Every structure is written in C-alpha cells, then in structure tokens.
Chain A
Amino acid sequence: MTLRALRPAGLHVVAVLILFGLQFVLSDYEKLSLTRIMVLAMYAVGYNVLFGYTGLLSLGHALFFATGLYAAGLTTYYFGFTLPEAFLFGVAVSALVSLIIGFVALRTSGVSFMIVTLMFAQVGYLLTSYFIEYTQGDAGLSLTGSRRIDFAGMSLDLGEPAVRYNLALLFLALALLVVYSLVRRPGGRVLVAIRENEDRTLMLGYNSFANKLWAFVISGTISGTAGVVFALLFGYVGSSFASIQYSIDALLYTLLGGAGTVLGPVLGAALMIVLIDKLSEFTVAYLLFVGVALIALTLWFPRGILGTIRERWAPWIP
C-alpha cells in the first residue's frame, strides 16, 4: 500500500490525535468548551450522514438529540438508572425513534420531507413543554446520583474535567469511525448515488427506500447518542435542546464545515460555536449572525470549508 492510499485514514487519525493532544495545553475553561463542542460536533456528524451524503435535508434533527438526552436523563432522574444503563437505554431509544420517524417521513421526498421532519421535531419540542411537570421545560433538570462508573477495575469520575473531555473525544472518534467506514464502502456510495440522482439509482436496481432508511437510522442514532452523551457528561437536560434552533444549528455546522465530508461538521461546529459564544457576550441578537451566515453560505460558499478544499486541492478527502 502506498503512502497516498493512507492519506484519507491518516487525516482522520491526525485530527483525533490533535484533539487528544489539545487537552495538555488548554486551560480548564477552554477544555470544558471543547468538551461541549465535541459532543455537539458528534451531533452534526450524525446529521451529515443524512444531509451531506444522502442529500436529505432534515429540519428536525433536534428531535433525535433531544430523544437521547431525555431518554438518558429522565431514566437517571426518576428511575435511578446507573450511567451505563442510561447510556444503553438512550442509544436504543434513539435508534427506535429514528427507525419509526424515518419509516414514515421517508414516504415523502423533497420539500414535503423537510416540512414533515420540521413538524415532528416541533411535536417533540412541544411535548417537552407539555409534560413540564416532569421535564421542568426550559429550566430543565439537573441530574443527581452517582457520577462514577466502575469499569474493568477502573473507576471513572464524570466530575473530572479530564474524564469528561476524553469520553467526549472517544464518542466523537467512534462516530467519525462509523461514518468513515460507511462512506468508504459500497453502501456509502449508494447513498451518494441517491443524493445525485435517485431515479437513476433506483433504475440500476438499488432499493432506494431501504438505503435511505438505513442512512436515516444511522444518522438519527449518532445524533441521539450525542444527546445521551451530553446528558450524562453534563448532568443536565432541558427543552431548549429540542427547539428548532437546535435543528438549524446542525445544518449550519454541516454547511460551514462542508456537507458530505466526514470531518466537515466537526470543523463547522468548532468554528461556529466559538464565534457564537464570543458574539453572545456582546449582543442578545446573536441569531442575527446565524441568519447572515446561513444566507452567505448558501449564496457564496455552498460547499463549505472542507468541501471547497476537496474541490480545489485535495480530491481524496472522504
């Protein structure tokens, strides 16, 4: 195998190594921000499977993030689930909800698909405020209970910033690995084929519905797992994570970093979150900037950062 063939895999290994190394130079506060960024990046990595590779614009991915968040958070809060139990339960519920929503939403296509996903997410958001007795709505719940995991003789304390940082990185790396191996295989090429021309893909004998559903479930489950990780690492669940704003955020990160590139959403999430955090120190109307960014990206920079780099200089980026 030549060195050239190793470039795509190498790029991702280097990216993860850089994130790993950063913890030794960053301050505690910066480490905390980066932990949050990595979890939200994972959410966008999941979103990208559907939007970037399969070409399906979902306007309701906050539903999956919130599903994972609440499935893990509420069971911990009310039933005293341990951390591993809550994790597994959260991932399972996310997968199930993506399967069900995907199964019905994929009966539509194009504009209808976008509106349907938007509406389902809106239902999810309204449910969190309808059951305000249990969820505390926007104020949210702070998860109490044990913050320790005893695993294979090791004892991990989620109160430790370093533990949180490395767990967030671990899950982000796993998500990247899943997406990377998906898109490098023939199955991933079929998704891209559906994005480029669904009729032709169908005519070539591929079951486009089954492939789209598969992409939907992977996408929803990764985004849901990000929600689970968020709830368990930060010990907080609140209904703002289910709002439309959050669905749009995933779209924005993916567009900025480059839709249809594995690392794009990570890059987009990092840049956008840092920018918005800075801006919200100055103004309450930071969403104004989000609006300008959405329009500017679609008008002048539709391929995003990594997408443009791939187009101009490095066609090997997956």
Chain B
Amino acid sequence: MDFGAFLFLAFLEGLVQAAVLTLTAIGLSLVFGVMRVVNIAHGQFFMLGAVVAWWVTTNITSPVLGFFVALLIAPIAVGLVALASERFILRPLKYDAVATIIATIGMLYIIQELTLLSFGPDARPVEPPFYFDVQFPWFGYSGYKLFVIAVAALLLLALKFGARHSQIGLVMRATQFDSDTAQAFGVSVGKVYAQVFTLGAMLAAIGAVLVVPIQQAQYLMGFDALILSFTAVIVGGLGSIRGTVLAAILIGLSDGILSVFFAPTLSKIVAALFIAVVLIFKPEGLLAGARR
C-alpha cells in the first residue's frame, strides 16, 4: 500500500472518530451555550447509550433489527434520564454554575455505579448490523464505519436545519442569545432548558450507539468521552456550536496522528494540558472566528 492510500485510510479512521465526537460534543456545547451549565455527567449519558445498545442487541437476535431498535430506544431511554435529572436536580438548583457542577458530579457517580451494579465491570462487544467492505482501489474498508460517518453528517444537517427553520430551534436560539428578553417575549425558558438538556443527552446516546459496534460498552467509558468533548467545546470556544463542530472534526482527525506519535497516557496528558492552556490564555477558543 503506498503512502497516499495509507493517508486516506488514516483520514477515514479519523473521520469516524470525528463523527462520533461531534455528536457527543455538540450535546455538551448546546447545554453550556443555552443553559450555562457545565454537565460533568455528559460522558455518563454517552456510556448509558452504549450500555442500552448492548442490552437491546443482546435481546434481539437479528443484528440489523437489534441495531436499529437500539438506535431508537437508547436515545429515548437516556433522554428520559436526562429529563428527570433536569426536572428534579438542575431546575431546583436554579441552574447555578457552582451547584450544578457539584450536582452533575454526583450524577456521574450515580449513573456509573448503578451501571457497575447492573451491567458489571466487563467490556462487552456489540455486533455490527451488517458486514460488508466497500472496495476502494487500494483496500477494502468497513461499510459500517462509512455508515457511521453518513449518519452523523445527516444528523448534523438535520440539527442545523432544525435550528434555522423550526419553531423550537428559533426559541432555543433566542434563549441562548438572551434568556431574560426571550422570557419577556413569552418564551417558556424552563421548558427550553428541559428540551436542550434532553436533546444534549440524546445526541451523546446516539453517538454511543453508533460507536459501540466499533469499540465496546464498558461502565468507565464515559470519562474519556467527557474529556474529549470538553476539548472540542473549549477549543471551539465556549458556547459556540459551529466552533465545537469544527474543533471536534479537527480533534477526531488529529487523534489518529497524535496516537501515532505519543503513548496513550502521554496523549491524554497533552490533551488535558491543552484544555487548561487554551482556557487560560485564549478563553474565547482557538476557533473564535467561527463564532455564531
């Protein structure tokens, strides 16, 4: 295989990573952008999505049917958990920045430990819905991975269209822009917050269902997802959705390259330092030009 083909393969792998990360990170970014809440439990919504996907696919014999049912059920189940935690935890705390961080840390532990008790500590694989390789001139590539990229791209387009042209999207954007004025114009801000928090969690769950046939479901997988999403949100500029998408794609693509040069621990160290340094010296994000 020549170098060009190798680069193309690395690019495809990076794109798969980017697709999943984008979905997860957008959820975090939406919640922060609209509600000003840092959801430390976001990674757990991702993990929960993966675990529900495992549960659904092991209970349905046909891998294709199982996968598509999981793609439907996992976001709904995770969305309900998020809706309940918004209603009974975040709302009573009045979305206070400090209190919600502490409470979402609590949610992180609760979700993680309940999963440990029910699902167990082992990593469990999920059957992909289909096996076929797309033949490129140089190599065959997993059709499922291409499917992941396509689904994520479609969802992104749908989100963008929804934000621009639907009533809910308009109200969400208005709330993000200025929640007091939105309320004065009759927008039910509380309802918007509940919708945004649920939507954010559902996006993470969809990302997890897509990735779980490639990775495995494990009860500790949420933390790395959280850190990666944080990186995307912060590099893209806190609260900027477009920045987050761009950053997630860049991070996904460069992740393959980073992991070639650095040991896994070292690349995690670099990522954590990178987040801190960006927040300290360039708090508006590296892609600040892409705001709004």
Contact = CB atoms under 8 A, between A and B. Distances in A.
B97 A298 contact: no
Interface string B257-292: 000000101101100110110011101000000000
Interface in A13-36: none
B105 A107 contact: no
Contacts of A287: 109, 112-113
Interface string A273-315: 0000000000111011011111101110010000000000000
Contacts of A116: 275-276, 279-280
Most-contacted residue by chain A among B97, B117, B275 (CB, 10 A): B275
Interface in A54-107: 57, 59, 104-105, 107
Given A107-B280, A111-B38, A130-B269, A285 B113 contact: yes
Contacts of B280: 104-105, 107-108, 112, 116
A288 B113 contact: yes
A206 interface: no
B276 A120 contact: yes
Contact of B103 (A59, A108, A248, A294): A294
B230 to A, nearest CB: 7
Interface majority SS (helix, strand, loop, mixed), chain A = helix
A105 B36 CA distance: 20
Given A115-B279, A285-B117, A292 B106 contact: yes
A295 B279 contact: no
Nearest to A113: B279
Interface in B12-28: none
Contacts of A302: 99
A110 B97 CA distance: 8
A150 B281 CA distance: 49
A208 interface: no
Contacts of B265: 126, 129-130
A207 B289 CA distance: 33
B70 interface: no
- Which size bracket describes the interface of B in this complex? 35 or more
Interface in B183-233: 227, 230
Contacts of A108: 279-280, 283
A298 B234 contact: no
Nearest to A244: B223
B19 to A, nearest CB: 25
A107 B282 CA distance: 11
Contacts, number: 112
B272 A291 contact: no
Interface in B97-128: 97-99, 101-103, 105-110, 112-114, 116-117
A167 interface: no
A122 interface: yes
Most-contacted residue by chain B among A59, A112, A284 (CB, 10 A): A112
Interface string B164-178: 000000000000000
A119 interface: yes
A139 B262 CA distance: 24
B92 interface: yes
A298 B103 CA distance: 7
Contacts of A112: 238, 279-280, 283
Contacts of B117: 283, 285, 288
Contacts of A59: 101, 105
A294 B93 contact: no
B106 A285 contact: no
Closest 5 A-B residue pairs measured CB to CB? A291-B109, A294-B106, A288-B113, A291-B110, A295-B106
Given A108-B283, A297-B102, 15 more contacts: A104-B280, A105-B276, A110-B97, A114-B38, A123-B273, A130-B263, A285-B113, A288-B117, A290-B106, A290-B109, A291-B107, A291-B112, A295-B110, A298-B103, A299-B93
22 contacts: A111-B38, A111-B97, A111-B101, A111-B238, A112-B280, A114-B98, A120-B276, A122-B268, A122-B272, A123-B269, A123-B276, A127-B269, A285-B113, A287-B109, A290-B109, A291-B107, A291-B109, A292-B106, A294-B109, A295-B106, A298-B106, A302-B99
